[in-house]
Amino acid sequence: MNGQQRQPVRRVASARLPTEFGAFDIHVFESRGAAETHVALVRGQLGDGSDVLARVHSSCVTGDIFHSARCDCGPQLHEALGRIADEGRGVLIYLNQEGRGIGLANKIRAYKLQDEGADTVEANERLGFAADLRDYRAALEMLRDLGVRSVRLMSNNPKKLEGLAGDGLAVNERLPIEIAATAATQHYLRTKKHKLGHILTSV
């Protein structure tokens, strides 16, 4: 798995979850030894687990819950759920790794630095972190646990594809999930494109 050590997760709870996008099965996973909780939303029957429409989404309290205009996270989450619902079969993995892995408090500290002129990468680095600390091993294990063998991944981030491929999981296709830039997100999206390598066409 790209030379990375496996980070086993275990499924600890499951239930039916009706949403505005239709009904999903919700599964809660815990990372052993890491005190982290992650969620998988599954729509329909995954069958043999081949070519499952999937999204791996990192938690964003400000965007997903409070509808922050600083990022495209919330709209991407809703777009992914809508696509999975329309297809009738798919998985959304929701990983507990706020602020590209630096945590909520540091993310808000980074916002303050952005208010003072830093871009999102510079802000993380001024706080002493790498630009992106996210780790996708838990997502890979969760997908495997759900019986997924290959995915069509909704993502603009090539590094996410690299982080998920291997160890029994194939990424057979990358599907863009691009949200049109606004005046509030244009600089943020340009930074993601030019400094983090995201594939974006609207900026």
Catalytic residue annotation: 132, 134
Single-letter amino acid code for the residue at 11: R
Q: Residue 81 corresponds to which tokens in the numbers above?
A: 């759920």
Q: Residue 149 corresponds to which tokens in the numbers above?
A: 């063998």
Cβ-based neighbours of 69, under 8 Å, separated by 6 or more: 182, 184, 185
SS3 51: coil
* Residue 16: Cβ within 10 Å count: 8
Helices (H), 8-157: 73-87, 98-101, 104-115, 120-126, 137-145
Cα–chain center distance at 2: 19
From CA 161, how far away is CA 166, in angstroms rounded? 10
